[in-house]
Structure 1
């Protein structure tokens, strides 16, 4: 449970205590939430030193979801993206090690469903950290100080782990059984995105986990969620956790991120939803 990013001026003196140094905001947020989306990676490649710093500033068990670069999703629109993908995974993402959660790929509203193109993209995505390191090794001309691939023996080297991917779509043509079947074939989660009605809210379970982004129910990125709305989302999450909302009846891991960040509602809504689910999560841990 968490928010989309953590560095917002509107949060200072509201969620963050007055006078808290900016360099301590991640540590503070991670002390109250158990996951955050890394958004900076969408706008450009980050440095390995940044990923290592973010990893070190968060407690054991914390998870980052990392947003894939817009060069892949928006500028190239999924065409000829093998090298950009390699550069992304070579840029330090893997330095998060056991704190690396799902990778989020957000498509632009103009991009309609093209089965061949989407399948080509999904087939390129690495499904383990070892596969990601292998892809990263064929990166473009990144300078050495901007490269971290986690080779055996490297500082911070990691054990191999599965790597999950989630796809957020914004064109209504993705609402099709062909799309859902394709995502299930590649175990890729279709993001459940609440966008104040601007883009489709698709509620199909297509992977062994569920990924939810709550951008605002009334005003995109701005409006907070009412108690009744949080109750309703808590009910949905319980259903995914328990399997009652899943086609095979099997429970899923669920990642929820609030992106209604503009007026500082996101962290408080995340805490409100987390409180509603605390009993369910405790039961799951005990089972």
Structure 2
């Protein structure tokens, strides 16, 4: 999506592109071969969160192939390996972080968006250990800038110390609209990363239309440097106003209808 004069790009999409219920006309045309699904999805949406990288590694040629398939301006975000984040002592994740970053994600080139580091809902905030983990995240790899998004899901992180820690590291706290755990919307990076997880399959647009309108307003405000009202913040003071590339994914709940929601949000923010 092209940049507007008064706002940064807004990237909107879904989690992955291989999902059987999307076939047969729900999202993908009935006669579309599975080999063409990424090509099709990347021309309907403006971003995809790659989730398979959470479970296993991929070869550099695979990332290069994905990059070659999607059009200019399309962006992938990449979910980091569970071996990096699902551990008792995060400070000991250095080898796993290096392995994940070094597997070939830089082959995505200018299609590479932020890396999503998602933590278990049971993971509590340990300032020393979490601070040590943030220091393990590299700023670049083979000349490619790396951006980091941190998704925590325990309310012990809802403290000024965690917000300041992420801001100092240049990492963005992920805002999640979730029915299962509390959201945290403080803006700490030079981009915004939102995961909308409350969708329902029996809703044609995953979310109610009024909510789609509300998230469209929020996305435009984030991209123009503002801070939406009504979201859960630790800090009362808004960060400096600067244009921020904004990523919004319909993911988790209502997955069957997530592509429809993403397309509707793209229409409302274009």
Match of 1:284 in 2: none
Q: 1:82 aligns with which of 94, 116, 128?
A: 94
Q: Which moved more, 1:243-252 or 1:168-177?
A: 243-252
Separation in structure 1 between the aligned mates of residue 53 and residue 115 of structure 2, nearest angstrom: 10
**Pairs within 5 Å for 1:157-196:** 160-196=143-179
Contact 1:223 1:260 in 2 (8 A): no
Q: 2:18 aligns with which of 7, 17, 36?
A: 7
Separation in structure 2 between the aligned mates of residue 162 and residue 54 of structure 1, nearest angstrom: 19
Match of 1:144 in 2: none
Residues 10/77 of structure 1: CA separation in 2 closer, same or farther (3 Å cut): farther
Residues 23/217 of structure 1: CA separation in 2 closer, same or farther (3 Å cut): closer
Residues 208/249 of structure 1: CA separation in 2 closer, same or farther (3 Å cut): same
Match of 2:267 in 1: 275
Contact 1:129 1:163 in 2 (8 A): yes
Match of 2:120 in 1: 108
Match of 1:21 in 2: 33
Match of 1:249 in 2: 241
Match of 2:107 in 1: 95
Contact 2:199 2:250 in 1 (8 A): no
More strand by share: 2
**Pairs within 5 Å for 1:50-61:** 50-61=62-73
Match of 2:193 in 1: 211
Aligned length: 246
Q: Which moved more, 1:224-233 or 1:244-253?
A: 244-253
Residue 258 of structure 2 corresponds to residue 258 of structure 1: no
User: Could you give the per-residue CA deviations for residues 123-169 of structure 1, whole angstroms, max 9, x where no partner exists?
Assistant: 11011233xxxxxxxxxxxxxxxxxxxxxxxxxxxxx3421100011
Q: For structure 2, which runs of at least 5 residues remain unmatched after alignment?
A: 1-11, 228-237
Q: For structure 1, which runs of at least 5 residues remain unmatched after alignment?
A: 131-159, 279-287
Separation in structure 1 between the aligned mates of residue 206 and residue 133 of structure 2, nearest angstrom: 35
Separation in structure 2 between the aligned mates of residue 254 and residue 204 of structure 1, nearest angstrom: 14
Provide the alpha-carbon RMSD of the alignment.
Answer: 1.8
Q: Secondary structure at the match of 1:202?
A: coil
Contact 1:195 1:217 in 2 (8 A): no
TM-score when normalising by structure 1:
0.81
Contact 2:89 2:129 in 1 (8 A): no
Residue 53 of structure 2 corresponds to residue 41 of structure 1: yes
